[in-house]
Homo-oligomer: A and B are copies of this chain.
C-alpha cells in the first residue's frame, strides 16, 4: 500500500529512538529501472537543512531513495544541521551502495534542535534491513507527529500502472505546526520534466488549496518518484489527473486530521471574474479567525464571511453578493436571505459558498474551524 503500491518500490518504518518509543524513521527506495524525481518545497525563507539538501539532490531530476524522520525538524540549526542532513543522506547511500546525491532527506518535529545522529545512523541501518515491498504502511506511520492516523492513498490503473502516496501534517502553503511531508511514487514511465510539471500542477490544485491555520512551515516537502517498472508510458494529461487525484485524497486526509479541528470547511467562491479572484476571496475567508470560531460554535455567521471578503481586491459589487451555509442561502443579493435557523452545522463537513456575481470562475479552499483543541495543542506543544 501507500508508496509501495507501485511495482518495485521498497519501504520501511522503524523506531530509531529519535523520539521515545515510537516509529520515527522511514526509508523509501526506488530500485529502478528509471529514477525520475520531482519535488515542491516550502517557500518559507527559513528553510530547514533537509529542504536545502533535497533541493540540491533533486535538481537533476533523479533520486534513488528518500529518508524521512519525525522527532526533529533540523531547522534553524545552522551549518552543523546542514552537515547532519548530508550525513543522513550519505548514511543511507552507503547502505544502499548508491550516490549520496541520489538521496533526499525530509525531517519534521521540533525546530532548533540538532538530530541525535547516532540514533539516525542506527535507524537507517535497521530500516534498510527491513525494506520490503509491503513496507508502505510502516513508512506512513513513522513520519507521523501530531497526526492521529497515518495518511495513505493510491490509484491503480487497469492498464497495469499505479500511483501510491503517504503524507503527514496539515497543509501546504499554510500548514499547522505539523510540517507537511508527502512522498508519492509511481511505476509509470515518466520523464523527469513531465513528472515535475505534473507534480506542480497537482500540488497547486490540492495541497495549495488546503489551509488549516494560515501558517507556513520551514520543512514542507512534496516528493514524487517514478521508476517505470510497469513499462507503461502514460499520457501527461492522464497522469497529471491521476496524480492530482492521489494528492487530493492525501490533502483531504490532512484537513480531516488537523490539530484540534471539529469541522472540515470547504469555502467555495463562485461567480468570480477569474480563478485568482475566487481563490483570493476563499483564502481570506478561510483565514478569518472570527469566521473559524463561529463555525466551531455551529454559527452560520455570514457577517464574518462578508467582513473577510470585504478585505479583498477581487472584482465584485458588495451590494450583490450571496452567502450560503450548507446550501441555505442566508444572505441573498446584499440582503438578509433565508432564516439562519435552517442551517445545521452539526456535521463535521461544512460548505460555505459565496457567489460574487462577477463572472464564471470558481475555486475552493479547504480549512478547519478554530477550537479549544487547536489552542490547547499549540499552546502546549513546543515546535
Which residues does A use to contact B, with CB under 8 Å? 43-47, 75-78, 110-112, 176-177, 213-218, 287-290, 293-294, 296-297, 299, 301-304, 306-312, 318-319, 331, 334-336, 370-372, 374-376, 378-380, 382-383
- A153–B78 alpha-carbon span in the complex (Å): 48
Given known contacts A46-B318, A289-B370, A371-B375, what 12 new A-B pairs fall within 8 Å (CB)?
A45-B312, A46-B310, A47-B318, A76-B302, A76-B336, A78-B334, A112-B331, A177-B304, A293-B374, A293-B375, A297-B379, A299-B379
With A112-B303, A176-B290, A303-B75: A218-B375 Cβ-Cβ less than 8 Å: no
Are the C-beta atoms of B76 and A334 separated by less than 8 Å?
yes
Min distance, Cβ A374 to any Cβ of chain B, angstroms = 7
B375 engages A307 (CB within 8 Å): no
User: What CA separation (Å) do A302 and B290 show in the bound complex?
Assistant: 26
Question: B45 touching A310 by the CB < 8 A rule?
Answer: yes
* A269, chain B: closest CB distance, angstroms: 15
Q: Which residues of B contact A336 (CB under 8 A)?
A: 76-77, 112
Question: For residue A299, which residues in chain B have a CB less than 8 angstroms away from its CB?
Answer: 379, 382
Q: Which residues of B contact A78 (CB under 8 A)?
A: 319, 334-335
- Judge whether B213 and A290 touch: CB under 8 Å: yes
Whether A215 touches B383, Cβ cut-off 8 Å, given contacts A44-B307, A75-B303, A370-B375, is: no
Q: Are B303's CB and A76's CB within 8 A?
A: yes
Min CB–CB distance A225 → chain B (angstroms): 27
Could you say which residues of chain B place their CB within 8 Å of the CB of A380?
297
A289 adjacent to B289 (CB under 8 Å)? yes
Contacts of A334 in B (CB 8 A): 76, 78
A-B contact list, 21 entries, CB within 8 Å? A44-B311, A46-B306, A75-B303, A76-B306, A76-B335, A77-B336, A110-B303, A111-B306, A112-B303, A213-B289, A216-B307, A218-B307, A290-B378, A294-B378, A294-B379, A294-B382, A296-B379, A297-B378, A370-B375, A372-B372, A372-B376
The 9 A-B residue pairs whose C-beta atoms are closest, nearest first, are: A297-B379, A111-B303, A293-B378, A46-B310, A44-B310, A45-B310, A293-B379, A296-B379, A46-B306
